[in-house]
Amino acid sequence: MISIYQIHYKQPMAIKVVRIIVIIFLFIAIFQIRANCQLYFPEDMVNIKGQLVDEITKEGVGYAQILNMRIRGGTMADAFGKFSIQADPSDTLTFKSLSYKDKKVPVAELIVSGTENVKIFLSPVRILVGQVDVQGVAPKVNMSGIPIGKAVNVPVELRSDYFASKPTALTAIFRPLSFISYHLSKSEKEKRATLAAIRSERDWQILSLVYNKDVIQRITGLSGEALEDFMLFCNAFNGLPVNATNYDVEKRIKELRLEYIAEKTNNK
């Protein structure tokens, strides 16, 4: 059986051991921190002058960055790659430039070199690009010297057999047969009528964006047969151009509304 004296005797010994272990760990930690810490003094700073040079072309690498990560600062090289920076002998400088690999150089190595203007070579980044096939389309060279006519957007089936446009009065003198055929030929009249219908349909599609039954109903407030009757009157006398705006349409419809009422009143 363990006596009360033995319990009281063993407990202080365990506490002493724990205290000794804690003191040892604290001593090691403090020693490690002091070993990693280093004091920097202004009188220890050295001025580093040098030039960044392309490893292949041996030309200066302009406007590169020289960084000292310890002080979170740095400088920039000039257009010829020359630079000057102050640093501690224990620092490490990082050199960065677009299209070049980053390079880290300890200041101690730059001091050991013994040269006043040290040269630092940067390796350019080389990227292998796969094969690219380029195809272009260009107009053929006119070797004959004959001018090339402008393209016509009129379908071949609807082109005139005689003239590209309506002939003038002088054409009746110099080319009377073609002039007569242009005006009297049935096929020529059908072609012109078809082209006119196509242009009218295209113009109406553009005009219908701002001029239609819904627009007239909104402006006049008409509905039913009255709206249908006034719509026919507008289609016959609107005189609106293809490029008419909303303002032009509204103004013209109001004018036609007054003319329509005056006409209905006179007919009564």
Output the pTM of the full model.
Answer: 0.38
Write the CATH number of the domain with boundaries 44-122.
2.60.40
Ranges of each domain in the chain: 44-122, 157-187, 208-267
Task: Provide the pLDDT for residue 105.
Answer: 92
> Residue 129 — pLDDT band, cuts 50, 70, 90?
confident
Across the beta sheet with 92-96, the strand order is 73-76, 65-68, 92-96, 103-106
Instruction: Say what the pLDDT of residue 53 is.
Output: 94
- For the chain, percent of residues with pLDDT exceeding 90: 18
- Residues 80-98 have a mean pLDDT of 91
Question: Which of 145, 134, 135, 85 lies closest to 110, judged by CA?
Answer: 85
- Residue 3 pLDDT greater than 70, yes or no: no
Q: Look at 43 and 117; give whichever has higher pLDDT.
A: 117
pLDDT higher for 203 or 226?
A: 226
Report the 10 Å Cβ neighbour count for 262.
10
pLDDT at residue 1 above 80?
no
Tokens of 183: 């005006």
| Mean pLDDT on 190-204 | 83
What distance in Å separates the CA atoms of residue 102 and residue 121, rounded to the nearest whole number? 11
**pLDDT given for residue 4 in this prediction:** 45
pLDDT in tens, 20-61: 887 887 767 665 555 455 555 666 788 889 999 999 999 999
Q: What is the signed CA dihedral for 80, 85, 89, 94, rounded to 10 degrees?
A: -60
